[in-house]
Chain A
Amino acid sequence: MASAAVSAEDDLRLVVFRLADELYGLNIVNVESIGVLAPITRVPGTPSYISGIINLRGRVTPVVDLRRRLGLAEAPYTDETRIIVVEHEDEQIGLLVDAVSEVRTTAATEIEPPSALIADVGTQYIAGVVKAAGGLVIVLELAQVLRREARDRVKRERVS
């Protein structure tokens, strides 16, 4: 990308949300919208971290339970539970989070590489860490979080 060199200098805007008492962030450019919990239809035969599919403005949209995906303890949904809709490979995907707190602007240079201190979440999912007034914000690597391992899928036989 041509803008890579420039963006290092640029400010980064993060959508900050809560998961199991930790703060996490996603680059706002990946975020399409934030919505309240909608009825989720569980799809049989899919990994447990895929909560199911919802009707997002007439579009069938998969929803990923971020707690499960990141291997965190499960918790019941509350009034604060939100679905963050992100854009991934030309599709919209919803991410279930405990609560959305704010949009925070930070200098890209303030992002530090993930340290071994954050043991709760696999480092492959983490792009970096930002220190802020409210505590650490763990910035997620969206592509990794949404990567589906090949064995997840079942291929169908087709005429070739």
Chain B
Amino acid sequence: MSLNLNASPEDLKVFLEEAEELLQAVEEDLIRLEKGDQAEADGLINEIFRAAHTLKGSSATIGHQRMAELTHAMENVLDLLRKDELELTSQIIDVLLECLDLLRVMKDDIARDEDSGANHGPLLERLKEIAADAGRSLPGAPALAASGSAGQAAPAGAAAGLSEPERARLSEALARGERVRTVRIAFSDDCPMPAVRAFQAVVALEQFGEVIASLPSLDEIEREQVQGTVEITFIGPAPDEEVTSALAAIGDVTGVSLRAVTDAELAPAGTSAAATAQAGPQTAGNAAGEAVAGNDAGRAGGARGPGDGGAKATPSRSLASHTVRVDVRLLDNLMNLVGELVIDRTRLAQIIAQFEAKVGASDLTQELSRTSVHIGRVSADLQEEIMKARMLPVENLFKKFPRMVRDLALKAGKEIDFTMIGQETELDRSMIEEIGDPLMHLLRNAVDHGIEAPAERAAAAKPRSGRVTLSAAHEESHIIITVRDDGKGIDPEKIKAAAVRKGLINADAARRLSDREAINLIFAPGFSTAERVSEVSGRGVGMDVVRTNIERLSGSIEIETAVGVGTTFRLKLPLTLAIIKALLVNVGANIYCLPLSSVTETLHTHSSEVSTVKTREVIVNRGQVLPLVRLRRLFGEPEAERQEYIYIVVVLFDGEQVGLVVDSLIGEQEVVIKSLTKYIGDVPGLSGATILGDGRVGLIVDVPSLVQTATAAAAN
């Protein structure tokens, strides 16, 4: 079922991007709030309130009723919290997080234009109960006072309900010859959410000018105190018809009438100075809130007026003027185009050489080659800049972890203090996508196996709550990511025992292992230290898969651990997946690229040195038996004629060396990794393709999978 929203695809796109940003910000704020830093709490609640408010406005604008209702109810609770009329409890945070999850579902529904029937009823109820509790526990003196004063200050006619500063603003505007009008909007009797409609009207009017006041007041609209009509006074030159038709387009609007506000109406009324002083800042605060909502209602880009300063719902907003959103595909295309440029440059150099050989060197040919060299330099710079544009702070990945750790800790009955360091460290976006799963797994392990239960920690004279730290930092052309816990550590003896029990090694071999070797057993396929299978771990995916994935990215993983003190996993990864250094080799008609990170040496060996052990070809290299894999055979190329000497590239993976037999070596080169395309899909033994200097396509070898296949074959 489609959602039938009242917005263009362009508007929806803007809405979705913004909604994701807001939801993420709210989630982060909620998690921080839960950690209970009192100094921060007020600021955080305010930020969450503003985000919910903005989302309410924009979801109402696109016509998503349920989303608007839910955010509105959240806003009510948050409003009570920020006015200290309600005390923050973990239940409230739980409910708010659940709201967030449901909002995500709704947002995803919008993205797919499908209605999964997300039901917000139960959450609305719970939010209402929470709000009602506030009334009970604190017999509502502030709330009552607020509505009371609003009642007094609201005689008929918007002009009469104006505060002193508002009157002054309007008088000034009239004196400058600007148009000041009050518009009266009537809603149908069965309008389910007049407040949301009134809010939409305010947003709509902000397109035409400056909204000065309304009756009910903006604050009352916020609190849903809207009956059948709303009157809004604004300054702006737009023709009546335009204003009327824009307002009439809002759902449930049954009537719109405009009238000019005259100077006579604005004569000072005898309001007390105290009341004026109160009303002033309040209205200003609201105007700031509305400006954001208006800004978010669909028109991306330019910040709007003075409201912006007060309304940083997300940190990124302040950077808005210096950044643009770019589709990733655009960057990929740019990268492709630069790749072409580089290839053409190579061709150009070849042509110049031929040309020179034909007509002889002259000023002209020299000028040509100088230009060609310059083009080469510019394209290299261009390539580098585009690579930089693809870099993202790891924050984009890290931001989902606090929530995950919180939920995991809750489920496992652990108390965990989770910190993240170096979120601003930049990494190619392709890499960020790839390391998410392995990191999630390591964090799960830390929570589930690393950190002890609170009682156990207390007994060991450690603080009840365990500490898990995720950090990122640059180190030369690598990024180092560590996952550290101060839990129970990994006991090599237990690992040995488990490995023997699982039949991975025999007891004799286990005894001979060093502690480090024993600990590295956790990376062995089929090994998992989980004593019991929990929802968190023990899902059949082990550390071996984590390691395989990291090594596939040309990275490495190390463990440091001490029993009773804790464990640190240290990941070392290249900054980008997009470019690697590779050794190019000929195999049959194809050129294959072997990532240099896994090549240990190359050999030129007499073919008589190859011997056969149990149908497997091996050579002895430096006193060690090196199994051989003939790439022609592996990749289905016709067998080569017997040659006196063979070329062998020795690759290392998981401590295992394998010799790859190739036709010939071409040389080392930096290659830009490209996918084998969706249509081709995953191919065993290959991790991608690249475009070579002569324009041909080379294939990139996936060394880990190749070695595993080869060693598995040897084991059988």
* Partner-B contacts on A (CB < 8 A): 39, 41-46, 50, 52-55, 57-62, 88-91, 93, 146, 148, 152-160
Contacts and interface: CB of A to CB of B under 8 A. Distances in A.
Interface in B695-712: 695-699, 705
* Contact residues of A: prevailing secondary structure: loop
Contacts of B590: 41-42
B683 interface: yes
B695 A55 contact: yes
B541 interface: yes
Given A44-B636, A53-B677, A53-B697, A58 B437 contact: no
* Contact residues of B: prevailing secondary structure: mixed
A93 B546 contact: no
B126 to A, nearest CB: 32
B675 A60 contact: yes
A144 to B, nearest CB: 14
Interface string B668-709: 000000111111111111100101000111110000010000
A41 B705 CA distance: 21
29 contacts: A39-B696, A41-B591, A41-B696, A41-B697, A43-B689, A43-B699, A44-B635, A44-B699, A46-B680, A55-B343, A55-B697, A57-B340, A58-B337, A58-B338, A58-B340, A60-B691, A62-B677, A62-B680, A89-B679, A91-B677, A91-B678, A93-B677, A158-B545, A159-B437, A159-B545, A159-B546, A159-B549, A160-B539, A160-B541
B678 A54 contact: no
Given A44-B683, A45-B636, A45-B685, A60 B340 contact: no
A152 B686 CA distance: 16
Contacts of A43: 676, 680, 683, 686, 689, 699
Contacts of A46: 680, 683
A62 B680 CA distance: 7
B689 A53 contact: yes
Nearest to A90: B678
Contacts of A42: 589-590
B597 interface: no
**6 A-B pairs with the lowest CB-CB distances in the bound complex, closest first:** A44-B635, A58-B336, A58-B340, A159-B437, A41-B697, A58-B339
Nearest to A59: B336
Interface string B263-284: 0000000000000000000000
A87 to B, nearest CB: 12
B438 interface: yes
Contact of A58 (B440, B441, B676, B691): B691
B681 A148 contact: yes
Given A45-B636, A159-B441, 15 more contacts: A39-B697, A42-B590, A46-B680, A53-B677, A60-B691, A60-B697, A61-B677, A91-B677, A91-B679, A154-B683, A156-B705, A159-B541, A159-B546, A160-B437, A160-B539
Contacts, number: 109
A58 B695 CA distance: 8
Nearest to B546: A159
A154 B677 contact: no
Contacts of A152: 681
A63 to B, nearest CB: 10
A148 B679 contact: yes
A44 B679 contact: no
A132 to B, nearest CB: 31
Nearest to B705: A156
A93 B679 contact: yes
B674 A154 contact: no
A53 B676 contact: yes
Interface in B378-418: none
Contact of A41 (B440, B545, B679, B699): B699
A33 B339 CA distance: 20
Contacts of A58: 336-340, 343, 691
A58 B541 CA distance: 37
A90 B337 CA distance: 18
Nearest to A39: B696
Contacts of A148: 679, 681
Contacts of A154: 681-684
A57 B678 contact: no
Nearest to B439: A159
Given A60-B691, A157-B545, A53 B680 contact: yes
A107 B677 CA distance: 35
A59 B635 CA distance: 23
Contacts of B674: 59-60
Interface string B509-550: 000000000000000000000000000000101000110110
A156 to B, nearest CB: 5
A91 B691 CA distance: 17
A69 to B, nearest CB: 12
A128 B176 CA distance: 72
* Of A43, A46, A57, most B-chain CB atoms within 10 Å: A43
A41 B677 contact: no
Contacts of A91: 677-679
Nearest to A153: B681
B680 A146 contact: no
Nearest to A40: B697
B696 A159 contact: no
Contacts of A146: 679
A40 to B, nearest CB: 8
B691 A55 contact: yes
Given A55-B697, A58-B343, A158-B549, A89 B678 contact: yes
Nearest to B437: A159
A43 B699 CA distance: 8
B642 to A, nearest CB: 22
